[in-house]
Amino acid sequence: MPSRCHLLLPAAGSGRRMAAERPKQYLSVAGKTLLQHTLERLALLPLAEQITLVLAAGDPWWPEVAAGLPVALRRRLQCVDGGAERSASVLLGLEALQPDAQAADFVLVHDAVRPCVALEDIRRLMEMLEHEPAGGLLASPLRDTLKCVDPSGYVASTADRRGLWSAATPQMFRYGVLLEALRAAQRAGVMVTDEAQAVEQLGHPVRVVAGRADNIKVTFPEDLPLVERLLQGGADATANW
């Protein structure tokens, strides 16, 4: 693949919806934290030597996890302090790449709490986006009917799900495009919940690549046993690079 690709992992969230005693990236599943599972999987990609890891400032859980990582992986990490929102964390990570990254390089951004991503999906994402001017993301078509629910718990309406997809990560964009897009969103005070939204707002085309629906983002407590089963039986997810 001709363009260089940098790896950026935002892991500075507090995981409020999980209501656990620690941020969800530090919850243990199948003997390791979610963050370690995700890092070890991304480290299998034949991409950039360096992985930029965005952590909450003063994160008290990271040192113990770092100490348990294989030395070769630990050496590849560049740790950067994150911000209050995911988009601020990604922007800080991009700025830390600045001396080295060129505008046309790609940056692959992946949630620390999506440890089940299949390498085959990442390979396909990179292949499909190779000639894109801006970039794109992995996503999967919605399976369920969508209901808009009012505050008292009754259905207000049913949305038409045709053409609706669930956005996942990795999301992969040209470095220059993503930096400009996140800075523009920040200046305008617009809260974007993923990289694609910021890039869309600048009017760039954003390509969608179909990915597996089991690339789940750990969000609620009931996601943990599911992720555990996927990680334990996940040989096919690390094959086929």
Q: Which residues bind ligand C5P (CB under 6 A)?
A: 10-13, 25, 54, 82-86, 89, 111-113, 217, 219
Backbone angles phi, psi at 107, to 5 degrees: -120, 130
Smallest gap, in angstroms, from Cβ of residue 115 to ligand C5P?
10
**Residues 155-164 as b or e (16 or more Cβ within 10 Å = b):** eeeeeeeeee
Of the pair 18, 129, the CB lying nearest ligand C5P is at 18
Q: Which is nearer to ligand C5P, 76 or 217 (CB)?
A: 217
Closer to ligand C5P by Cβ: residue 5 or 112: 112
Report helix, strand or coil for 11: strand
The least CB distance from residue 22 to ligand C5P, in Å, is 12
Phi, psi of 46, rounded to the nearest 5 degrees: -80, 60
Name the residue nearer to ligand C5P (CB basis): 33 or 132.
33
Nearer to ligand C5P, 113 or 172 (CB): 113
CB of residue 227 vs ligand C5P: minimum separation in angstroms?
A: 13
- Please report how close the Cβ of residue 10 comes to ligand C5P at its closest, in angstroms: 3
Give the nearest distance from C-beta 160 to ligand C5P in angstroms. Answer: 26
- Which of these, 55, 51, 96, lies nearest to 72 by C-alpha position? 51
Alpha helices in the chain (DSSP H): 34-42, 62-67, 71-75, 86-97, 119-129, 175-188, 195-201, 223-232
Nearest residue (CB) to ligand C5P, 157 versus 219: 219
CA pair distance 97, 109, nearest whole angstrom: 13
Q: Which residue is nearest to ligand C5P (CB)?
A: 13
**SS3 at position 9:** strand
Q: Do residues 234 and 116 make contact, with C-beta atoms less than 8 angstroms apart?
A: yes
Q: What angle do helix axes 86-97 and 175-188 make, rounded to 10 degrees?
A: 140
CB 139, min distance to ligand C5P, A: 15
